[in-house]
Amino acid sequence: MRSDLSALLVNATDDPRTTYRGAETVHRNWPGSRLVTLRGADQHAVYGAFASPCVDATVNAYFASGHLPAGDVTRSRPPAA
């Protein structure tokens, strides 16, 4: 893996397909990455599918600017409507 490439990783803590532990391992081994974590969510597709304004805004800002957030982002699952 090339460590000079940037990446925005998005994962839910209870993702049934991609374990959060796996996401943390990838993040730890990829120096140019940032990890966006959605706590308490049991969904695989978080961005654009789980109705988390913070996650969606973080990913959209990355897409618009090409710049990673200054640090990792962690938010709790939004309350059910």
Which pLDDT tens digit goes with each residue over 12-51?
A: 999 999 999 999 999 999 999 999 999 988 888 888 777 7
Q: What percent of the chain stands above pLDDT 90?
A: 64
Residue 3 is predicted with a pLDDT of 61
Q: Which amino acid is at 71?
A: G
Residue 50 is predicted with a pLDDT of 75
With a CB cutoff of 8 Å and minimum separation 6, the contacts of 56 are 47, 48
**Domain spans of the chain?**
7-66
- Using alpha carbons, select from 65, 57, 64, 63 the residue that is nearest to residue 73: 57
Judge whether residue 1 has pLDDT over 60. no
* pTM attached to this predicted model: 0.87
